Structure 1
Amino acid sequence: MTKTNQGNFFEDYRIGQVIRHAVPRTVAEGERALYHALYPARHALYSSDEFAASCGLESSPIDDLAAFHLVFGKTVPDISLNAIANLGYAQGRWLRPVWPGDTLRAQSEVIGLKQNSNGKSGVVWVRTQGLNQVDEPVLEYIRWVMVKKRNPDVDTTEIVIPELRPALDATDLCIPEGLDFTGYDFGLAGERHRLHDYAPGEKIDHVDGITIEESEHMLATRLWQNTAKVHFDATHRTDGQRLIYGGHIISLARSLSFNGLANAQMIVGLNAGAHAHPAFAGDTIRAWSEVLDRSETVAPGVGAIRLRLVATKGDSSNFTLKGADGKYSPDVLLDLDYWALMPV
């Protein structure tokens, strides 16, 4: 009898199945320091207790994407240990801030299944929740993953494809209790641009680039206890390369977006996301954003801006997303549609 975890295969999932993921994790200040060492993260609300207090919060929370990666990492042994690819995200909401000292755990519900035509794999949709030590949900999202089958000769006939909303409405977003941007210090934040300085359709080249190193990627993946084999073991790919964790690309692109979007302080909604092409050590990541929508909120001085964030290993100044055939340009690594909070 084997005692090691071989991970779930496509046949192991059932609609309505709820999976409680192992190993809760207590978040400490060191998490923030290491996150900021891995990425050029400079948004003021996540860098300074004093700045956060001036915006009505008790102190500086843990970066929103650090919380996302932590919860995501909990799900990997059960959802994507045998994944071929993480295909996309939808309907993500950050429900309350995560503070140093909080303990997070995760659970997922299987909401969709579809075997691929080749019979060797299938797509699994899950709705994941991250919860803190008092069982309050701190974030939730849907993702879908292509997972290997254990036995390609056995057909799995159950097909359920969930209906997903194309985007969250601004009224669906959760504003942290007490958040107030009426006294916002634009000088300390790094840029003077407010919500209404951005227009739907506007595109912003974030200019800077970062070359990915194996050491940084491996450190990030271990930090969030992501055990997906393709990120660690080069023998799991025919090209002999370790696949860069998609969350690493998300955080790199978000950090690069500071140059032009320094006041897009908190990510509170994830409308859609796709890892368009794989990334490997040696690639140089650049980013650009497109403004999709904007809205005021009920919180004083707080607006919401909807952005498309595109990570590319090519030229970010030509704003190329897809070709004439409707497929992503070969240089595009990430296409992420999200809502962030910004002073009005």
Structure 2
Amino acid sequence: MVFGAFGPFFEDFELGQIIRHRPCRTLEQWDNVLWSTLTLDYTPLYLDAVYASLTELGRIVLNPRLVHSVVIGLATRDTSVNTLAFLGIDYENLRRPVFPGDTLCVETEVVGKRETKRPNVGVVSWIHRVYNQRGEDVYEIKRNNLIYKRSTSPWIRFLEGRGEMANSSQQSGERVTLNTEERKLSHPGWEGRYLEDFTPGERVIHRLGRTVTQYDNILSTVLSMNTATLHLDEEYMRYHDYGKTVVQGPFIVGVASGISSFELGANISADLGIKELKLKAPVFDGDTLHVISEVLDVKPDKEKGKVTVRSTVYKNNFSVEVSSFIREIEVFRREYSPWVKIWKG
């Protein structure tokens, strides 16, 4: 019998190893619209050609969360097809904007490998470097995963039909509590937040929630060309530690960015990237995600300024923390927003 490639296990990675992934991926505006609307990210820079034309970039750019997801997807077969869990990213650098019609190619360097207290897995860290069709360096991300060792691989146990199937259990914890000010449930007509509306230390509890399904998981995974079987193969997952398919991490980050886009993204001139992404609990079919953002820093300039926020993602009625990450955005001052020109009257 001939088996398809098993993909690399923990012991197969070597520090300094360079991997050039095939295929590359040309991203079009329909990819951008599909991802942005699927994740509730209605930031005008990604969807509104008139608004985008009035920014320094001059035209629509691809949603960075889509780029993030596609980069990981293209790299998965050669890096994390045998993953137990995506642990998060250390940083993300958006070196150049990515526009509809650009083709992305991904090169990976193995930069970390260590044992854990769990004998069946180890942690592997990679830096993914991304180039466009002109060979320009457009994006870089450092990612960390728990990777199975060959002897404990769920894929091998699945093929051989040995070992017990895993059972998953719901986590529980204390609910997030609101203070008196945060319990106010109304606000004036909504233009989105301008630079002057952000205050360091404030907490924004985002109004929208998003129940995610296996359909969302499948659609976002295949859109990203991600081949990690923990998102796609229910039979295989009976032998995995989670016991059932898990929603892919980049989609969770995308949904979190989307949920927060009404309060954070309506007047941005650029998304400067995310860092310190940590994934703390798996998300399954039917889980509902909510997000709270904390403003960490505001650096004003003449026409716009940089805002740094930490967004935390929860499920189970805010009782389980799923993920957190720091995001930097560039936000217009009110008088310099493209909306001033769009709504002239």
Q: TM-score higher than 0.5 here?
A: yes
After superposition, residues 1-344 of structure 1 pair within 5 angstroms as 2=2, 4-151=4-151, 191-235=191-235, 236=237, 237=240, 240-261=243-264, 262-264=266-268, 266-296=270-300, 301-315=303-317, 331-344=320-333
Cα separation, 2, equivalents of 1:42 and 1:113 = 38
Partner amino acid for 2:246? L
Aligned-pair CA distance for 1:290: 0.5
TM-score (norm 2): 0.80
In structure 2, C-alpha distance between the alignment counterparts of 1:249 and 1:117, rounded to whole Å = 27
| Residue equivalent to 1:321 | none
Distance 1:206 1:118, change over 3 A: closer
Change in Cα spacing, 1:314 to 1:96, as seen in structure 2 (3 Å) is same
Task: Show CA shifts across 1:54-104 (max 9, x none).
Answer: 113231011111111111111111111001111121121111111111110
Q: Is the 8 A contact 1:44 1:265 kept in 2?
A: no
Structure whose alpha-carbon radius of gyration is higher: 2
| Number of residue-to-residue matches in the alignment | 292
1:112 and 1:150 map into 2 onto residues whose CA distance is 18
Structure 1 residue 258: deviation in Å? 2.0
2:150 alignment partner, SS class? coil
2:101 maps to a residue whose letter is: G
AA of the residue aligned to 2:256? A
Q: Any gaps of 5 or more consecutive residues in structure 2?
A: 153-189, 334-345
Please say which of residues 216-225 and 33-42 is displaced more in the overlay: 33-42
3-state DSSP of counterpart to 2:72: helix
Contact 1:32 1:63 in 2 (8 A): yes
Report if aligned partners of 2:91, 2:277 keep a CA contact under 8 Å in 1. Answer: no
- Percent identity, aligned pairs only, is 30
Once superposed, which parts of structure 1, at least 4 consecutive aligned residues long, lie more than 3 Å away?
A: 237-240
Q: CA deviation at 1:294?
A: 1.9
**Deviation digits for residues 158-202 of structure 1 (CA, Å, limit 9, x no counterpart):** xxxxxxxxxxxxxxxxxxxxxxxxxxxxxxxx6253223212211
- What is the CA–CA distance in structure 2 between the aligned matches of 1:265 and 1:276, rounded to whole Å? 31
Give the alignment's TM-score, normalised by structure 1. 0.80
Contact 1:20 1:107 in 2 (8 A): yes
Gap regions ≥5 residues in structure 1: 153-189, 317-329
Deviations 1:182-234 (CA, angstroms, capped at 9, x unpaired): xxxxxxxx625322321221100111111112112111111001111110112
